[in-house]
DNA sequence: TTGCTCCTCACGTCACGTGAGGTGGC
DNA sequence: TTGCTCCTCACGTCACGTGAGGTGGC
């Protein structure tokens, strides 16, 4: 009933391949404390990851690759979230509604900040797309003119190959 | 009539401020050959930029910041375009329709490749946005439950401040 | 037992950041 | 003349890349 699913351990090489990074990147993020200090691995033994760890890692990668955040900024965010996780432990034991309220509001602020950044980048991308599309129209127009010009100047058709 | 506008020279500091980068970045891009080798500056004298130079620089910055391209990849693109610019000089003088056709088609390929990349990133951002929005809904739901719970358990209202 | 993947140093690299020390134009 | 911005080295840093040399599990 309330039995927890076996957390499906995955090794670092498979994780790296799934997320499109190298194992070095994952180790570096761990070194910076970005991977929740889980597992308590004994030195020299293999790193093992659950699906939750992978989701966490993917979020870090998106914050970096899609939103352009520095790892320092992401670490700061993570420390916020870690404080949240620490308090969540108390959540189960001794609630204290005032604390819960505080935690939930902080979590909301973080997510809304990330949503803001996503929208900023979407806007910038859309603007860039517009300029590229305009350039494409111009090029296509020139190509049409070229085809028409060479057709009227001479009997040679526009070169189709090579 | 066909008089060219004075190219409105701007110094590196103003350019950097407008584009939100440091002067070091601009000098580094020049060092890599990303800024079209224009101006033929005498060593030690000030760098001066036209609006066209700024537009070029902004494109490089967008390729890097929005599409995540490495400077090496951007340099490769730039070499394509430079070959295009070289051939464009011939464009005016001695056309040769076959060459023109080739140039236009290459330009079209570059722009379409960039548009593809823009769309890939837009898709990834939209996916990320969806997940963040789902998380936000979950947090808000918890907050509502918390407010309702504390209202029924006791007479204390949910703490509104701090 | 044999590969294969993993491990820990540790140095290299890319894309700039950050002064040091000096020169040039309103 | 006095600031201010610019210049050229040149070393530092961030986020990994890339071996070297060795250990552990199907």
pLDDT tens, position by position, A20-72: 999 999 999 999 999 976 667 887 799 999 999 999 999 999 999 999 999 99
> Per mean pLDDT, which of A87-91, A96-100, A153-157, B43-47 is the most reliable?
B43-47
Give the confidence band of A156 by pLDDT, cuts at 50, 70, 90: very low
**Which is nearest to A136 in space by CA: B113, B145, B78, B69?**
B113
Q: What angle do CA B7, B48, B37 make, to 5 degrees?
A: 95
Averaged pLDDT for residues B119-130: 98
Give the confidence band of A13 by pLDDT, cuts at 50, 70, 90: very high
Give the confidence band of A161 by pLDDT, cuts at 50, 70, 90: very low
A3 pLDDT above the threshold of 60:
no
A79 pLDDT above the threshold of 90:
no
A153 pLDDT above the threshold of 60:
no
Provide the angle, in degrees to the nearest 10, between the axes of the packed helices B97-153 and A97-153: 160
Is the CB of residue A61 less than 8 Å away from at least one CB of chain B?
no
Averaged pLDDT for residues A117-125: 98
pLDDT of the residue at B87: 65
The pLDDT > 70 percentage for chain B reads 78
Is the CB of residue A148 less than 8 Å away from at least one CB of chain B?
no
Q: Residue A37 — φ and ψ, nearest 5°?
A: 50, 25
A 10 A CB-CB count for B38 gives: 13
Residue nearest to nucleotide C23 (CA to C1'): B44
Residues of A 29-88 whose CB lies less than 7 Å from any atom of strand C: 43-47
What tokens were used for A144?
A: 């049409």
The per-residue pLDDT of chain B, averaged, comes to 85
pLDDT of the residue at B39: 60
Q: Find the length of chain B.
A: 162
A 10 A CB-CB count for A107 gives: 20
Q: Which nucleotides of C are covered by protein (CB under 7 A)?
A: 5-8, 10, 14-18, 23-25
CB crowding B70-87: b at 16 or more within 10 Å, else e: eeeebbebbeebeebeee
Question: Do residues B90 and B99 touch, judged by C-beta distance below 8 A?
Answer: yes
The per-residue pLDDT of chain A, averaged, comes to 85
A 10 A CB-CB count for B41 gives: 11
Cβ–Cβ of A66/B124 closer than 8 Å? yes
Cα–Cα distance measured from residue B104 to residue A120, given in angstroms and rounded to the nearest whole number: 33
Cβ–Cβ of B66/A149 closer than 8 Å? no
The pLDDT > 70 percentage for chain A reads 78
B150 pLDDT above the threshold of 70:
no
Is the model more confident about A110 or about B81?
A110
SS3 content of chain A, % helix, strand, coil (to 5): 70, 0, 30
| Lowest-pLDDT choice from A68-72, A125-129, A144-148 | A144-148
> Per mean pLDDT, which of A118-132, B1-15, B92-106 is the most reliable?
A118-132
| Lowest-pLDDT choice from A8-12, A47-51, A61-65, A119-123 | A8-12
A2 three-class SS = coil
Q: Using the CB atom, is residue A11 less than 7 Å from strand C?
A: yes
List pLDDT tens digits, range B55-69.
999 999 999 999 999
Residue A131 to chain B, least CA–CA distance (Å): 10
What tokens were used for B115?
A: 């548009």
pTM here is 0.85
A117 pLDDT above the threshold of 60:
yes
C-alpha separations of A15 from A20, A53, A69 in Å: 8, 10, 22
A 10 A CB-CB count for B13 gives: 13
pLDDT of the residue at B122: 98
A1 pLDDT above the threshold of 60:
no
In this complex, the residue of A115, A139, A142 whose CB is nearest that of residue B132 is: A115
Q: How many CA atoms lie within 13 A of A17 on its CB side?
A: 5
pLDDT of the residue at B78: 87
Cα–Cα distance measured from residue A140 to residue B119, given in angstroms and rounded to the nearest whole number: 20
């Amino acid at each position: 009933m309330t039995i927890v699913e076996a957390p499906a351990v995955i090794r670092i090489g498979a994780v790296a391949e799934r997320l499109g990074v190298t194992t070095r990147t994952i180790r570096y993020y761990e070194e910076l404390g970005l991977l929740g200090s889980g597992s308590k691995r004994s030195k020299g033994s293999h790193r093992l990851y659950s699906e939750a760890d992978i989701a966490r890692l993917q979020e870090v990668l998106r914050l970096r690759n899609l939103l352009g955040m520095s790892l320092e900024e992401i670490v700061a965010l993570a420390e916020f979230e870690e404080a949240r996780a620490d308090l969540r432990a108390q959540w189960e034991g001794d609630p204290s509604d005032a604390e819960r309220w505080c935690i939930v509001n902080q979590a909301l602020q973080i997510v809304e900040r990330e949503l803001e950044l996503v929208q900023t980048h979407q806007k910038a991308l859309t603007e860039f797309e517009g300029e590229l599309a305009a350039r494409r129209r111009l090029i296509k127009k020139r190509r049409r003119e070229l085809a028409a010009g060479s057709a009227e100047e001479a009997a040679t058709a526009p070169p189709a190959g090579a």
